Each structure stands twice: as C-alpha cells, then as structure tokens.
C-alpha cells in the first residue's frame, strides 16, 4: 500500500522565495527566528503564543553553520536544518518556514516586512534584530516571557550525564 506524503513540507520556503510566499499569507504577519534544535515544550508554547499575535507565523531557522557560529557546542545542531525545518513545518501554528545562513535574520525581516516581530523572553526589545525597522514601519515587537524553563542545552546535558 502506498501512503501519501504529508503536505506540511509545502510550508518550507527557500529564502529567495520568501517575499513572494509571504505575500500570499494573511496579515498581520508574525516573524520569529531561532535554532529550534531539539523541539521541546518551551518552544511549542512560545510558537503558539507568537502565532496568537497575528494571522500567520513565519519561522526562520539558523542554518547548521549559523548555529555553530553561535558557540552552542561543537556538536550542535544535533538535528540538521532540513530535519528541523520539517519538524517546524509540521506544527499547526506555523505557516511558513525558511532559513538564514547569516548571523542574524535581518535580510529576511526586510524581505517579508512583518507586522509583528517576536523573540523569547531572554531578548530585550532593544536587542532584537530588526526591531527598529519593524517599529519604524508601524509594526510591533514583543519579547515573550518563558512559561516553561526548558532548553535544548539543558536536555543535552542531562542526556550526556546518563551516558
């Protein structure tokens, strides 16, 4: 028996197609970014809260090289970007997934001109890349406080301690 492939992979969008694909999404458009290496409760709660701030949510993932430059560890990311993108795209609250190889998603933010820019509570609004631009064109910027104190780094430390 042949089983159909899930359609969530259609939500994965190369960066060069982002402006065109975003134009098809309902507004207000929410944008966030991150590594999202091992997806956990903190991530999905945050993404759900971000999506509630608008009519659609775009998530930009750091490429594997970009993650390594962040100094999270020599073995990070654990999951390759293609796998992280597929998992992210499978979430119902996410409308589009793209990626960036730079150290920041600044170019993507300019390309899609979100109405709402969001990062986690460990980021002050002043430090959020693109905040000045989004505020400048009349958008909103939010730093969403963490509800669940979970992290991929902590999870990996626990796993390594068991080995």
With respect to residue 92, please indicate whether it lies within any of the assigned structural domains.
Answer: yes
| Whether the predicted pLDDT of 157 surpasses 90 | no
Burial of 137 (C-beta count, 10 Å sphere; 0-12/13-18/19+): exposed
The answer on pLDDT for 162 being more than 90 is no
pLDDT at 160: 79
CATH number at residue 138: 3.40.50.620
Q: What pLDDT was estimated at residue 146? A: 85
Q: What is the pLDDT of residues 19-73, one digit of tens each?
A: 999 999 999 999 999 999 999 999 999 999 999 999 999 999 999 999 999 988 8
Q: Give the pLDDT mean for 112-132.
A: 96
Q: Is residue 28 part of a domain?
A: yes
Residue 28 lies in domain:
11-123+130-148
Q: What is the DSSP letter of 129?
A: T
Q: How many domains does the chain have?
A: 1
Residue 2 lies in a domain: no
For residue 156, the 8-state DSSP code is H
Query: What is the distance between the alpha carbons of residues 31 and 54, in angstroms, rounded to a whole number?
Result: 10
For residue 6, being part of any structural domain is answered with no
Q: Is residue 27 part of a domain?
A: yes
Q: Distance between CA atoms of 89 and 107, rounded to whole angstroms?
A: 21
The predicted structure's pLDDT at residue 21: 98
């Amino acid at each position: 028996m042949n089983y159909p492939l899930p359609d969530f992979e259609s939500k994965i969008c190369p960066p060069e197609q982002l402006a065109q694909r975003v134009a098809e999404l309902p507004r207000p458009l929410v944008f966030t970014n991150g590594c999202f290496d091992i997806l956990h409760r903190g991530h999905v709660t945050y993404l759900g809260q971000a999506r509630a701030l608008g009519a659609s949510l775009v998530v930009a993932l750091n490429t594997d090289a970009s993650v390594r430059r962040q100094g999270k560890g020599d073995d990070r990311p654990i999951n390759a970007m293609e796998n992280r993108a597929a998992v992210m795209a499978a979430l119902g609250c996410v409308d589009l997934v793209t990626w960036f190889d730079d150290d920041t998603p600044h170019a993507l933010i300019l390309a899609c001109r979100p109405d709402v820019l969001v990062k986690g509570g460990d980021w002050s609004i002043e430090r959020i890349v693109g905040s000045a631009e989004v505020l400048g064109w009349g958008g909103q910027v939010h730093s969403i406080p963490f509800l669940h104190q979970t992290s991929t780094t902590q999870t990996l430390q626990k796993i390594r301690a068991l080995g």
